[in-house]
Amino acid sequence: MNCTRHIQFPITSICIAPHQCQCQRKLCIDCQYEHGVDIKYTIPTHRFQDLVIKQLQDSKIDQTFEFTEQRKNFLMILSQTESMLKNTWQHLQESIKQIYDTIEMQDKSYLKIMNKDFNPTDFSNTDLEKLVQIVQGKIQNEWKVQKDFYLQKLLKVKDWWEKEIKAVNEKLMKEMDQNLSLNFNLKQQQNEQKSQSQVNLKPFSYEIIQANSIKQQEYCMAVAINKDCSIVAASCYQLIKIYDFNQGMMKQNQVLNQHQSDVATLNFMKQSNQLISGDNGSILIWTYNNDNSWICSQNIKGHSDWIRCIILDNNEDLFISSSDDKTIKFWVKKNEWICQQTIQDHSSCVQQLSLNEQQNQVISCGEDSLILIIEQSQPNKNWIVKQKIQVDCCGLRLCFINNNLFTFQPAYGNMMYVYEMNSVNITINQGNEVGWLFPQQFIKKRQLLVNKHDKYVNLIRFTENSQFKVEQSIQFEKNHIFGQLSDDGEYLITWDETSKEIQIRRFKQQ
């Protein structure tokens, strides 16, 4: 097989360097020269296969006795549990049936007397005594008390059973999620291509729910949707409006008013009930209080100009901000959020940031026509600019798709660029971008990228063969459009200058 970069030369070796290669793993003679890595990390192709097999053999994967025994014992426990639950269920079912049958039979005996002609003189003294007690009201009162007692007991058993079964099931599912995650990881690895193919085969569109649109004359430059799509935060100049969100319908319940300038960024945290907002220099941390309201728990004077982007890592003990003051700041959580580090390599406004899946690389773009690749070093955990990519014009948006791939949207033209080992481009709508904010987002669950450019919001699929396909372009009359996709890709919420509405669109697969 010949090299894809130097097609005149065959591939002769494989790179096994622990770092993320700036070049490809498959190397020809010229690649080795350009690669700049110690020769001890390059292995001839004919020996690479033997090394892989040897490593697997050394790990003794083929010794399956312990695995087989454990699996056998686990299946035995499951079988015993099934049998025990079945016996318990049968016993409970029989007991409940017996009580209800007894109540029903007794009621029928009284109904029989009530609905049938009879001659009291034909009754025995014992039966007649029962009729006398009925006339006195004694028997029916006693029966009513007794029946109510049984019914209350049954209701308590039903509620207890429902509560306990639900609790046990939730605990079991939680334990499975925590302790059996290997199963899901293996399944994901085995079926990744298959599931992605199934997703990509089905076209989709985002359809507006017109009846749920909300009029807002003031600019809404930032929108955020919390992790379970139950709350939406939307800026309104210096205010933040908090909405309850249910099935595509928004209902306002609070207005936050502690910003001194227009709110430009909003981010809900996923691990805690907190919200981060940014304006012309300040970052505010909002905490959800016990009285069902949001309060400002910290006001950070972090930048000297507009804050354009804030991103959080998965653990949410780090967030990163970029600003028109030309800096990128890294904030860590101690007792409060403090600035750990500042990157000053941009020479103009820094528009957007994105963090990769491994959480060890940040990319940035700005008005200086530079893309920075910033990497976390080991072991001191400092962030270092590893690469500067000079582009033709300023960039407003970029986003990691995976650890090795990111997209970049320049301000002008009709191309969105994809960077890997070599950059490629995707044709989108013609136009020059003067709007800012509305960050690129990639929703892994749906393999979906949202990219705003000029008067269009483009919904782009990352296909099974690592290509990009524009599935839908939503056209607006003007290019001042702001918005956000929900984390599950179910809802797209936008505000635009023409309609002056907060509009909700919902994902629909065709």
Q: List the CATH number of the domain containing 291.
A: 2.130.10.10
**Residue 432: its pLDDT value, please?**
58
Q: Quote the pLDDT of residue 293.
A: 92
CA nearest 502: which of 246, 206, 241, 204?
Answer: 241
Model pLDDT, residue 6: 75
pLDDT beyond 80 at 139: no
Q: Which two tokens stand for residue 462?
A: 């990352």
Over residues 350-357, mean pLDDT: 95
501 φψ region: left (φ > 0), alpha (ψ -120 to 50), beta (else): beta
pLDDT band for 392, please (50, 70, 90 cuts).
confident
3-state SS class at 7: coil
Q: What's residue 188's pLDDT?
A: 44
Burial class of residue 314 in the structure, from the number of CB atoms within 10 Å of its CB (0-12 exposed, 13-18 middle, 19+ buried):
exposed
Domain that holds residue 45: 13-58
Domain final residue, candidates 58, 78, 93? 58
**Is the bond into 120 cis (omega within 30 degrees of 0)?**
no
Q: Is the pLDDT of residue 104 over 80?
A: yes
Token pair, residue 338, equals 């403090």
- pLDDT value of position 429: 56
Residue 320 CA from chain centroid, whole number:
19
d(CA 358, CA 18): 14
> Tokens 């960039």 correspond to what residue?
395
pLDDT at position 80, please?
Answer: 82
pLDDT-derived band at 497, boundaries 50, 70, 90: very high
User: Residue 406: inside a domain, yes or no?
Assistant: yes
Residue 291 within a domain:
yes
For residues 193 and 385, give the distance between their C-alpha atoms in angstroms, rounded to a whole number: 33
264 torsion bin: left (phi>0), alpha (psi -120 to 50), beta (else): alpha
Confirm whether 121 is domain-assigned: no
Residues 6+ apart with CB under 8 A from 214: 250, 501, 502
| pLDDT score of 383 more than 70 | yes
- Per DSSP, 10 falls in state B
Whether residue 192 has pLDDT greater than 50: no
In a domain, 505, yes or no: yes
Contact present, 232 and 250 (Cβ < 8 Å): yes
* Final residue belonging to a domain, choices 40, 58, 76: 58
Q: What is the mean pLDDT of residues 159-169?
A: 79
Q: Taking 80 as the threshold, does the pLDDT of residue 487 lie above it?
A: yes
By percentage, how much of the chain surpasses pLDDT 90?
Answer: 45
Q: Can you give the pLDDT at residue 479?
A: 86
Least confident of 31-35, 92-96, 316-320: 31-35
Q: Is pLDDT of 49 > 60? A: yes
Residue 127 lies in a domain: no
Confidence (pLDDT) at 468: 87
Q: Does 362 or 45 have the greater pLDDT score?
A: 362
CA distances from 506 to 249, 462, 485 (A): 11, 19, 10
Which range is least confidently modeled, 14-28, 250-264, 409-423, 469-483? 14-28
Burial call 107-122: b when 16+ CB within 10 Å, e when fewer: eeeeeeeeeeeeeeee
The residues with which 475 forms a beta bridge, in sequence order, are: 456
Lowest mean pLDDT among 226-235, 262-271, 315-324, 402-411: 402-411
* pLDDT mean over 68-72: 78
- The per-residue pLDDT of the chain, averaged, comes to 84
Q: What per-residue confidence (pLDDT) applies to 56? A: 80
What are the CB-based long-range contacts (under 8 Å, 24+) for 328-335?
328/353, 328/362, 328/364, 328/372, 328/374, 329/302, 329/303, 330/383, 331/283, 331/300, 331/302
Query: Which tens digits make up the pLDDT trace of 219-232?
Result: 999 999 999 999 99
Kind and range of the H or E element at 395?
strand 395-402
Beta-strand runs (E) in 29-95: 42-44
Contact 239, 259 (CB under 8 A): yes
Structure tokens belonging to residue 302: 């972090």
User: pLDDT-derived band of residue 99, with 50, 70 and 90 as boundaries?
Assistant: confident
Contact 93, 86 (CB under 8 A): no
Alpha carbon 83 to chain centroid, angstroms: 38
Q: What's the confidence (pLDDT) of residue 184?
A: 38
How far CA 213 is from CA of 107, 137, 230, 494, 495, in Å, comes to 57, 64, 17, 10, 10
Task: Tell me how far apart the alpha carbons of residues 260 and 13 are, in angstroms, rounded to a whole number.
Answer: 60
Token code pair at residue 289: 């209080």
Residue 108 lies inside a defined structural domain of this protein: no
| Chain center to CA of 352 | 20
Assigned domain for 186 exists: no
pLDDT band at 183 (very low <50, low <70, confident <90, very high): very low
Q: Could you give the count of Cα atoms lying within 13 Å of 255 in the half-sphere of its Cβ? A: 5
More confident residue, 434 or 495: 495
pLDDT at 206 over 80: yes
Q: Within a domain: residue 252?
A: yes
pTM: 0.61
pLDDT above 50 for 250: yes
> Domain count of the chain?
2
d(CA 459, CA 469): 9
